[in-house]
Structure 1
Amino acid sequence: MSLNKRLALLLLPIIIIGYGCATFLIYYYQKSHIVELEQAKLDQRMFQLQAVFKEEAATADHLMALFLEGHYLSDFLLHAPSTYRDTALSQSVSSLISQTRLNKSSRIAFSLFSGNGSPLFYYERSADPFATISDEQYAVSRQMLDSHTISDWVFFHQALPSQVVSARLLDRVGLLPFKGRDIDDSIQLSFSVQLDAFSSHLSDLATAYKTAPVWTERHTRPEAILTHTVALSSTQYLTITPDQAALNASMFGFLIKLMFIAAVLAVFTYWLLIFLISRFITAPISQLDKELTQVMHYQKENISPSLSNSEMGRLSNKFYELFEQLQNNLKKTHEMAITDTLTSLPNRFRFYEYAKHVLLTAEQSKEYVSLVYIDIDNFKFVNDKLGHEAGDNLLCFLAEDLHRLLLPIQQQYGGCMVSRLSGDEFAIVLTHHLPEEVDQLAQSIVELFEGGYESDDYYFPVSASMGIASYPVDGHSLKALIANADMAMYHAKRSGKNRYKHYSASIAAEARRKKSIEDQLKTLDCEKEFSLVYMPYTCANDQVKGFEVLIRWHSSELGHVHPEEFIPIAEQTGTYAKIDHWVFETAFKSLPQVRAIFGEACLLSINISAAELGHHVVLERLIELKALYGIDDSSIELELTETFGYVQTDSVFDVLNGLQEAGFNIAIDDFGVGYTPLLHMIDYPVNKVKLDKVLTARVTDSDYAKLLPPLIQLCHLQAIAVTAEGIENEHQLASLKAAGCDFFQGYWLSKPMPFDELARWHEGYQSRQINLDKPI
């Protein structure tokens, strides 16, 4: 009998008896733990059920958040009811719903109600082509509108499949959480999500444990041995208590599994022992395991290549080749992970890694570390006008130039690196001994952009704005240096571009003041802090024809804040609507008093923000105020800043045409120095243009006087009147009158003045005119 046969006969009874006894003992001593095991399984399935519920239920809130972040609702409300409007919103909601990870057959419904509870819009993704708003959504809507609840989330489980409804109550105008009293000024929207996966899991769970789920409004202490309760919401708890038969089945199943595992392990162990012993490979395996362990713990780079031609020798050599290949790939992958693919400069990850390292080194060596944050001005223009290929060309050439500027510094001192952070943003980390060294580098970069930037194939009308923050003066952490350099960069951009600015206390103060203005605008009382001033303008016969109404703000905390400072902030933060409303209402109230002094033909010119023109709400508000205060047609002139040329959309022109039809005159303010080509006047639904003071000064100069009559004639050909702003002296006035200008405004006539000073100024102006008319 061979040794292998004797080995097989010897090991077989030992394996069978050993695993048989082990199986019996394990089952005998583990019976008391089966309940714990089943409880753990139940816990796991219940937690899984809870996770499925939260994932599906969160879809409603996720859809609500995505919907409110977009402009879908504002676009819907701005347009008059129409099939196009409903179709556009349906497509937007469908696009949002398609982004969810729910099954495509899951029912998701979106509904929109007015303040009186009437449905405005309904969309449902389901297989039912005749679906209507569910009773649950109606119930949630009615409850919110009755109680003025701004947010609600309801879970309906009475019938499967379950569903959740997430709803919001918003202000109809500002689309913010509703805080008003008149519910008709609100709008209510809700998303209903059918919890198919949750309902399926719950049904499977009830079937598996042969029991029915128990719903309670609070957590109760279970009396059964095997039970589990999960919280699905603050007022909804689900309890599953398995039937005893299910527990018995689990115990029997445990025994069967234990016997099966024992049998598999016995067979595996039996053949493994025979194989290992018969093949005598214990020693080679141990040696290979030792070397692999050393490689994994970085004690050596690779295992030793084997000279043996046996299976184990070939396996060792394959491991050797595999580790060689993995090391090479790891080096290449790491290099790609820290390098920008377009410019081959270090990327943002490498920038952070390097900057943190040099900051730690500088703390020990007491050196300066400066962060130069570079942003290319007008880069969007390059992509839009010349194409993205030209934009990439610009970035690559700039990367080469920046690297060339840093190369001498790297060779002489080291401690510097340029990286591309993203888009058109670059950053330089410079370690230096003298503070002025970073200024020399920044000035060299500015010189690259003098007169634009040129590559081999293109000329780019771009420049660079740079912000500099230095360790330890401007911050001790990388986060602080990045924030301060970015702040300084934006200050350089506002200061005229193609320059650099060091972070300073004044820049920080400016940022704090901007933040303070933004905070004040959100909570201020317009009546207490705002006031209006009036700046007159005259016609060709020197009669006062109207006043431009200007706003002034004297803050109790900030003092006097100029309109050029707070109006852009108000437009950016969405607080300008209430300022506009206050200005219009206050000006409309003052019109009868102004006319009592200057006559019934006197007009008021009021500035209106271009940011407001895309909303039909401003049209409705102005029409309401006009009717409320009995304002005659053509008594109010609305002045648009010339940046209106950048927002020529259908909705904007609809508002402008609506304002003209409602009896308002439209004027373009600051004409001639902004962005509006003269030919675009053909498209503007306006009655007047106001020449900017810079243009007025230029065309009344003797060198350019010949341009003035054609300019005014061009406007007159379009039936557009012309007002000249910024008139400072009699010579300018005479030149403008001779050229046919219609109206005249400037400090030559008067500075803006409060309403209380209008009567006294008028008396003085009339006396001056009488004296001028007297014969000498």
Structure 2
Amino acid sequence: MTLGKRAFFLIFPVVLTGYLLAALSVYIAQSHSMLSLERARLSQQLDHIAALFRNDVNQSRSFLYSLLEGNAVRLFVSETDEDYRNNALGLRLQQSIRSLSDDPKKFISFAILNPDLTPGYYFENSDDPFAEIGEAQFALGRRLTGGSQLRDWTYLHEGQTRPLIVYSEFIDPVTFGRPLPSAKKSALLVQVALEPTQFLSMQRQLQDEYQTVIDFDTVPRPSLPNELSASVRLAPSLFAALAVPPSHDAGNVERLKLLLGLGALAMSLVSVGLMIVLIRRFITNPIAALDRQVTAVMTGKNEGITEIDAAGEIGRLTGNIKQLHDQSQRALHLVQHASWTDTLTGISNRGHFNTLAAKVVHKVTTQGGHGSLLFIDIDNFKFVNDKYGHEVGDELLKVLALRIERVVGEIIARRSLPPVVFARLSGDEFAVLVQSASGDGTIREMCACILGLFSDGFEVHGKHYPVTASIGVAICPMDATNLAELISNADAAMYQAKTNGKNRSSRFSRALQDKRDRIRHIQEELRLVDPDEQFHLVYMPIIDARGKVTGCEALLRWVSPTLGNITPDEFVPIAESTGQFTKIDWWVINRAMSEHQHLKALFGPETVLAINISSAELHSKSIGDYFSDCLDRHGLDARTIEIELTETYAVKLGDQLHRNIENLREKGFRISIDDFGAGYTSVQQIIEYTADTIKLDRALVQNLANQETLPALKAMVSLCHARKMAVVGEGIDTHEKLALLIAAGCDHFQGYLISKPLALPDLSIWALKQAAEIAGGDEDRAFVSGGRRRAGSSSLL
């Protein structure tokens, strides 16, 4: 037997025994490690689910405090008019609740319980329009009322349709603060309940993975030494525990046995022949080199791992670690790039813009310099989306982003300025933040170049689309010293550009700030206004072709002791946006009907009273009931009341609005479409309108009241007549317009040529003058009294 064979037979059993013992030790240690790792993994997942649960608890608390800090709840609770509170303030409270919810599909409810635990208000974000507060929440309210706590949260999950986290707090109905314990019985109980969707999703995931259920208890569950289980505290008196059944495979122990046995045998065979040479050359040295490289990467000294010239497991391990490191770096860069990039256009998104822009604003405010923000909004983009489809709209945005980036980049490169921050903020809104010296012409040139992209319509793939751009410019630090204020001011300037005609730029100015301040002051005055003291009505006569007054339109006027005269064009949109229109409209309806008898005494019993109401009122069925109540109160005939709605209501004419209008018509009220032709008119809409009267807007009259367009005007009037609708021409300020409208077949006329809006005493004087001039035989003069006459004219026709 050779020495080699002898050495083999002597060393191999020893080496094999050693490897087998080592493998057994590894198996014992590894099995315990696997159990520990699986237990740690389970604990980590329970910690995660607990974090999700606590996040939902904090969210319910923050949601409740946000509502209580706002005015919506205070106004709702303090309002004594039940109809107004339930309709207007209830709607506003719903809007506040929806605006605070990050996820519109997530279930969340808000309840106000009176001291006797009767529901004062309840709203939930669900598809059930008849939803009511659950019995479990009532039971919780009774428990809290009988206890000493002023606020509490509870997880309701047993016997519930859906598990809910309920945050409850007692508030004083007068101070809206926390009541004294002695006053708890008279306090309101407000509750916010939300469904912890992420918590429940992960709960189901864990239960499916481990084929068991998560138990909830008031004490933690003890864990046995060889049991795979864990528990976590969700709250001071609520614990979640999960115990994995013994049948669950925690680590594939049988496979571990096989691998360790085969590994021990293989390593024994290799080690006998190469123990001395290979351990040093192919194991010790390569591992040491790899360890040095990994340590250098972890400490930041190197950015990558270099493959070493080694064979076998060590060489593959080095290559795999290098590949894994490279893949991790690429994935990190991709994730970072995706989180900062708008997926449609490829430029920065709002989050990235906020980060970069905040640094620029901080730099210019602390170190000096100027930063100019261009807030760009695409005019008529919704039209392109609706008419040509979202694919065309998306392509337009992508092309626009590339072209803006190109023209801005050329200006920046030519002027050697710092790189701009260019981003798509949302939808069709873009922002460009430029660092340039004040007054150097950079911003003016940049706005001109961007607007120049829309000079002949915006061209995409050879087709032109009717879109333009409105640009608002605000400069830091002159206009703002922080990013939020800078964006807000640039946005205000952009809306000013839209107001001035679109396809232009507008610089934020003190006038814009004053306008915003005035809007805020009007909002404050509207909340406190007493209509009987500050509102009054004026009336504008409506005549037929013979000059007879057939009706009067009631127009609202507001004289504020602090702000002076405020026109309806100014305060009505503000009232609609803040939910104050109901109080104003109802006052106008009641006051106009109370003065209708005076109008009848002046112009005859068939005189029609036209009352303007906000289109937003049509969403509420209570407006019809209020009209009927006022009609009975003042003893009027519904056929002499004409309800004027703006023409734009028909653009959003849904089923509920249609039913409300038909209900008014069934009660005998006349319906008039005011400001027809103000911007939304189409032949299809004329055919579909449900109305008794069409009032042509003064802008439409101005455009069509000439000889060239008379045939078109006649056709429009004929179409209205075919629909059995009377036609009223507004804005009659010249004899020429009057003559052309009469020639076109209009039925009634209104304008300053006839009379300006007059208060009742002045209207009485005007009516007496009309009657006197008609009695004196001067019908022509009576026809236009209060207006301007053409010199030498003897006939209106």
Bin for the TM-score computed over the shorter chain: 0.5 to 0.7
Change beyond 3 A, Cα 1:411–1:136: closer
Q: Write out aligned runs for 1:9-158 (5 A).
A: none
Equivalent position of 2:452 in the other structure = 447
Separation in 2 of the partners of 1:685 and 1:353?
Answer: 52
Change beyond 3 A, Cα 1:520–1:310: same
Equivalent position of 1:423 in the other structure = 427
Separation in 2 of the partners of 1:522 and 1:377?
Answer: 33
Matched position secondary structure for 2:376? strand
Shift of 1:453: 0.9
AA at the equivalent of 1:621: Y
| Alignment match of 2:304 (pick from 302, 305, 313) | 302
Aligned partners of 1:668 and 1:688 also within 8 Å: yes
AA at the equivalent of 2:418: G
Matched position secondary structure for 1:758? helix
Change beyond 3 A, Cα 1:464–1:193: closer
Equivalent position of 1:655 in the other structure = 660
Change beyond 3 A, Cα 1:116–1:600: farther
Equivalent position of 1:556 in the other structure = 561
Equivalent position of 2:634 in the other structure = 629
Separation in 2 of the partners of 1:468 and 1:698?
Answer: 34
Equivalent position of 1:717 in the other structure = 722
AA at the equivalent of 2:464: Y
Task: Answer yes or no: is 1:598 the counterpart of 2:598.
Answer: no
Shift of 1:638: 0.7
TM-score, length of structure 1 as denominator length = 0.68
Shift of 1:140: 8.3
Moved more, 468-477 or 372-381: 468-477
Shift of 1:641: 1.1
Q: Write out aligned runs for 1:755-766 (5 A).
A: 755-766=760-771
Matched position secondary structure for 1:395? helix
Change beyond 3 A, Cα 1:774–1:423: closer
Equivalent position of 1:21 in the other structure = none
Separation in 2 of the partners of 1:57 and 1:110?
Answer: 18
Moved more, 365-374 or 355-364: 355-364
Matched position secondary structure for 1:634? helix
AA at the equivalent of 2:585: D
Shift of 1:471: 2.7
| Alignment match of 2:384 (pick from 382, 385, 388) | 382
| Alignment match of 2:321 (pick from 294, 319, 330) | 319
Q: Write out aligned runs for 1:175-324 (5 A).
A: 201=215, 205=219, 288-309=290-311, 311-312=313-314, 314-324=316-326
Shift of 1:3: 14
Aligned partners of 2:556 and 2:568 also within 8 Å: yes
AA at the equivalent of 2:543: T
Shift of 1:231: 8.1
Shift of 1:697: 3.5
Shift of 1:582: 0.9
Matched position secondary structure for 1:552? strand
Moved more, 542-551 or 755-764: 755-764
Aligned partners of 1:292 and 1:303 also within 8 Å: yes
Equivalent position of 1:744 in the other structure = 749
Equivalent position of 1:409 in the other structure = 411
- The one-character-per-residue Cα deviations of 1:556-579 (angstroms, maximum 9, x if unpaired) are 332222111111122222221111
Aligned partners of 2:773 and 2:779 also within 8 Å: no
Separation in 1 of the partners of 2:643 and 2:122?
Answer: 33
Separation in 2 of the partners of 1:123 and 1:509?
Answer: 38
Moved more, 309-318 or 375-384: 309-318
Shift of 1:666: 0.9
- The one-character-per-residue Cα deviations of 1:315-361 (angstroms, maximum 9, x if unpaired) are 34443443344444444544444443433334334434443454566
Aligned partners of 1:409 and 1:416 also within 8 Å: no
Shift of 1:742: 2.1
Separation in 2 of the partners of 1:162 and 1:696?
Answer: 59
Shift of 1:650: 1.8
Separation in 1 of the partners of 2:678 and 2:768?
Answer: 35
Aligned partners of 1:492 and 1:501 also within 8 Å: yes
Change beyond 3 A, Cα 1:53–1:520: same
AA at the equivalent of 1:295: V
Shift of 1:738: 4.5
Shift of 1:615: 2.3
Change beyond 3 A, Cα 1:143–1:654: farther
AA at the equivalent of 2:391: E
Change beyond 3 A, Cα 1:317–1:700: closer
Separation in 1 of the partners of 2:423 and 2:121?
Answer: 55
| Alignment match of 1:400 (pick from 399, 402, 409) | 402
Separation in 2 of the partners of 1:449 and 1:119?
Answer: 51
Equivalent position of 2:471 in the other structure = 466
Separation in 1 of the partners of 2:167 and 2:777?
Answer: 70
Equivalent position of 2:649 in the other structure = 644
Runs (5+) with no aligned partner, structure 1: 17-44, 79-95, 103-107, 126-131, 145-150, 169-187, 210-227, 240-270
Q: Provide the aligned C-alpha RMSD in A.
A: 5.7
Moved more, 658-667 or 291-300: 291-300
Shift of 1:598: 2.9
Task: Answer yes or no: is 1:578 the counterpart of 2:583.
Answer: yes
Separation in 2 of the partners of 1:4 and 1:592?
Answer: 121
Aligned partners of 1:604 and 1:637 also within 8 Å: yes
Equivalent position of 1:732 in the other structure = 737
Moved more, 658-667 or 671-680: 671-680
AA at the equivalent of 1:567: V
Separation in 2 of the partners of 1:612 and 1:287?
Answer: 79
- The one-character-per-residue Cα deviations of 1:536-589 (angstroms, maximum 9, x if unpaired) are 122233222221001112223322221111111222222211111111011111
Equivalent position of 1:537 in the other structure = 542
Shift of 1:299: 1.2
Task: Answer yes or no: is 1:664 the counterpart of 2:664.
Answer: no
Equivalent position of 1:255 in the other structure = none
Matched position secondary structure for 2:550? strand
Identity %: 33
Separation in 2 of the partners of 1:400 and 1:159?
Answer: 57
Number of equivalenced pairs:
638
Separation in 1 of the partners of 2:401 and 2:157?
Answer: 61
Separation in 2 of the partners of 1:600 and 1:550?
Answer: 21
Separation in 2 of the partners of 1:736 and 1:161?
Answer: 65
Task: Answer yes or no: is 1:372 the counterpart of 2:374.
Answer: yes
Separation in 2 of the partners of 1:565 and 1:110?
Answer: 36
Shift of 1:761: 2.3
Change beyond 3 A, Cα 1:763–1:469: same
Separation in 2 of the partners of 1:403 and 1:53?
Answer: 44
Matched position secondary structure for 1:480? helix
Separation in 2 of the partners of 1:675 and 1:290?
Answer: 74
Change beyond 3 A, Cα 1:391–1:531: same
Equivalent position of 2:42 in the other structure = none
Runs (5+) with no aligned partner, structure 2: 1-9, 26-45, 74-82, 88-101, 145-150, 169-189, 204-212, 224-231, 240-263, 265-270, 781-793
AA at the equivalent of 2:732: I
Separation in 1 of the partners of 2:382 and 2:347?
Answer: 21
AA at the equivalent of 1:671: F
Shift of 1:754: 1.8
Task: Answer yes or no: is 1:587 the counterpart of 2:589.
Answer: no
Aligned partners of 2:113 and 2:119 also within 8 Å: no
Separation in 2 of the partners of 1:49 and 1:411?
Answer: 53
Separation in 1 of the partners of 2:316 and 2:119?
Answer: 79
Separation in 2 of the partners of 1:98 and 1:699?
Answer: 46
- The one-character-per-residue Cα deviations of 1:505-529 (angstroms, maximum 9, x if unpaired) are 1112212222332333233222222
Matched position secondary structure for 2:755? coil
Separation in 2 of the partners of 1:301 and 1:116?
Answer: 67
Shift of 1:747: 1.0
Separation in 2 of the partners of 1:688 and 1:766?
Answer: 27
Change beyond 3 A, Cα 1:295–1:109: closer
Separation in 2 of the partners of 1:98 and 1:357?
Answer: 32
Change beyond 3 A, Cα 1:764–1:358: same
